[in-house]
A and B are shown apart, each in its own frame.
Chain A
Amino acid sequence: MATDYATLKKGGWMRQKQKNNFSLRVRVVGGNLTATQLAKIAEVADKYGEGYAHLTSRQSVEIPFIKLENVEDVKAALAEGGVEPGVCGPRVRTITACQGEAVCPSGCIDTYALAKELDDRYFARELPHKFKFGVTGCQNNCLKAEENDVGIKGAIKVKWLEDKCIGCGLCAKTCRKGAIKVENKKVIFDESQCNFCGRCYKSCPTDAWEDTHGYIVSFGGLFGNNINKGETIIPFIEDKQKLLDICDAAITFFAENANPGERFKYTIDRIGRDVFAKKITEVYNG
């Protein structure tokens, strides 16, 4: 029987240069694996592979040197540890995320919960070409949001609360954008300079900054043969449902307009950046 490489690839089995050998990519969400999953991956790598695993550039794990004849056994073994195969090819890929506010002092949003939600919603969806989502918790951008087709960045919108302020000036010190000045113990906040990093709010010792957590989204990022920084078209998004609606609109635009093998950026360029911006802005304002 002829080997159906396309089906194998779809299920995360990456054909190696060595005949009948596959590097199996497993499904990872937001860069987290449980101890049970890791133990099972180790066991499978020992028994069916060459005793090691490879960490991919986008937070997945691959187990190289799995033999074609063991594909079904490996799938069954991994399932026992709650490990599923990942995907490759023209579909929604691994949803990546940094640790976010659940763990990181700089985090502005719960990146893992959002990655999980995006994974449930989109993972492995068939599209004209690969499609990548990445979620980073704050402006430090450890997860490099803008290199993804859709990049999501945690953000905090702030408002100064005069009655709680002691005029200590720490917010002005921690602001990296020069958006805050303190004169005569009074804050002068230039909102147009704010990048929503939340450092003023986080440094304040008297809770004198009101915080609204939200998202900044970029579209059309690439970091392969061609490199393009994803573009932020719409302002700060406060509501998670709105964010999901915008993700829906972006992926639908790609599904309806992209040529096979064309990345999102080139679809936007070919159809027209203004056409895409109009669609996304309508959803944002809707």
Chain B
Amino acid sequence: MNIEQIVKRAMSDVAELSDCQLIETIEPDTLLLQSGLDSLGYAMLVAQLEEELGIDPFTELAIKVYPATFAEFVAIYTQGLELQND
């Protein structure tokens, strides 16, 4: 699974656990705050991805741009994993 797929799967897991309703299709330019997850959902998503991927880019990176879209969110994880492997 690539990172995008991992994030999408984690989003649907978290949506179920946190009682959120994800929108039907998440596109790269879908705004995170309009994807159906609320702040609690995002907090859980970041925690779950930390367990799966071993990184939390929000604490480990000096984030240049806060992610607003799904693509930006995935990019931050991609960048975080690349830095970890360097």
A and B form one complex: no
Residues of A that sit less than 8 Å from B by CB: none
